[in-house]
Amino acid sequence: MDKILVTGGAGMIGSNLVKRLVNEGNDVSVVDNLWRGKLEYLEDENGKSVIDIESKFFNYDLSIPGVCSYIIEDFDYVYHLADIVAGIDYVFANQGYLFRQNNLINSNIIETVRNSNRKLKGFIYVGTACSFPLTKQNSLDVIPLVEEDLYPALPESAYGWSKLMGQYETELLEKECNIPTSILMFHNVYGSPCDFGERSQVIPALIRKAVNFPKEEFNVWGSGEQGRAFIHVDDIVEALVLTKDHGLGKGIIQIGPSICTSIKEIAEAVVEISEKDINIFYDTTKPEGDKARSADYSKAKRLLGWEPKVNLTTGLKIQYNWIQKQIAKDELCID
């Protein structure tokens, strides 16, 4: 049994990871300030938390230096998922804040690990495909990204830059402290449980609009031609579990499919799942981010034995049903 700390453990990815680690017999604790995460995400099918909230959950703001110092000595592994992230509208409207907060969060947790009296068996850092250079993602003619494309660096957003800084500091941690690390760069993750409100990312936002239609307009930010490599949270959790045993000390590994799916295709799929007569409106006055990207995941396959398994259509249906139930539940509470 390993003692594991998951930062951001009450979010979509974190809560699914925590449940998997607990089911495999590990002693898991969570740090999360509940900015987007929720304690209910850590509950099983019977409404019972999979960890002891009183002793294993810490509502900490990791942007505050030293906030985790007194607990870090207890763990064998740290999964660092915590960051400030949201939909493209929030990201581009709050770049300075987001850049500063993520740098503080990353530096503080890494410095805490660095100064710990107990040497970790492994530190797993979660990065993002947004850190790849804009020049590799500004064409609709998609060439799958490889890890070596990361430098020379030129992320489009402050979010991408902040996550890249965290990657670099993680590399320094391994080099200077001899702590084995793994850096996984995630492409666009979707699934449940998730934030589907005003700060949500593209898939949950479109699903919310479809569920609420016609009370809410079904508008898409940008032309819809922009594309992403969408990956289901179950596949992400599998990669996180595998990297603890096979990815430490192996450098940067990107996790995502080789297929680039346009936002237009996602919107049309969501409308089809909804079975509603919806006219899709593309708001080209809004930002749409990088043009397109996909992943050459051969390194993940070679080192981790990982490849994506959840079909996009299946994943979208599962997420649609989850959000639909949450909205219905919220409406009952209001009534």
CB contact at 8 A, 195 and 12: yes
Triad 317, 320, 323: Cα angle to 5° = 150
The Cα–Cα gap between 104 and 241 comes to: 26
Angle at which helices 202-212 and 312-334 pack, to 10 degrees?
Answer: 50
Neighbours of 288 (CB within 10 A): 18
Helix, strand or coil for residue 185? strand
Please write the tens of the pLDDT for every residue from 88-142: 888 999 999 999 999 999 999 999 999 998 899 999 999 999 999 999 988 888 8
Q: Number of helices (H) and strands (E) in the chain: give both, helices first.
A: 10, 13
Tell me what percent of the residues of the chain surpass a pLDDT of 90.
87
Q: Is the pLDDT of residue 186 over 70?
A: yes
What local confidence, expressed as pLDDT, does residue 200 receive? 86
CB contact at 8 A, 232 and 322: no
What local confidence, expressed as pLDDT, does residue 287 receive? 83
CB contact at 8 A, 35 and 8: no
| Amino acid, single-letter form, for residue 26 | N
Q: Is the pLDDT of residue 333 over 80?
A: no
Q: Is the pLDDT of residue 330 over 90?
A: no
Token pair 């979509």 in the structure block, residue: 12
Indicate the helix (H) or strand (E) that contains 271.
helix 263-274
What local confidence, expressed as pLDDT, does residue 134 receive? 93
Please write the tens of the pLDDT for every residue from 38-62: 999 999 999 999 999 999 999 999 9
Q: Is the pLDDT of residue 335 over 60?
A: no
Q: Report residue 65's pLDDT band, with 50, 70 and 90 as the boundaries.
A: very high
Please write the tens of the pLDDT for every residue from 250-297: 999 999 999 999 999 999 999 999 999 999 999 999 888 888 899 999
Please write the tens of the pLDDT for every residue from 200-217: 889 999 999 999 999 999
The residue-averaged pLDDT of 302-327 equals 97
CB contact at 8 A, 57 and 171: no
Q: Report residue 198's pLDDT band, with 50, 70 and 90 as the boundaries.
A: confident
What local confidence, expressed as pLDDT, does residue 159 receive? 96
Q: Is the pLDDT of residue 332 over 80?
A: no
- 3-194+229-259+294-311: which CATH topology? Rossmann fold (3.40.50)
Indicate the average pLDDT of the chain: 95
- Could you list the beta-strand ranges (E) of the chain: 3-7, 27-31, 57-58, 77-80, 122-128, 181-186, 188-190, 219-221, 227-228, 230-232, 252-255, 261-262, 281-283
The residue-averaged pLDDT of 138-154 equals 92
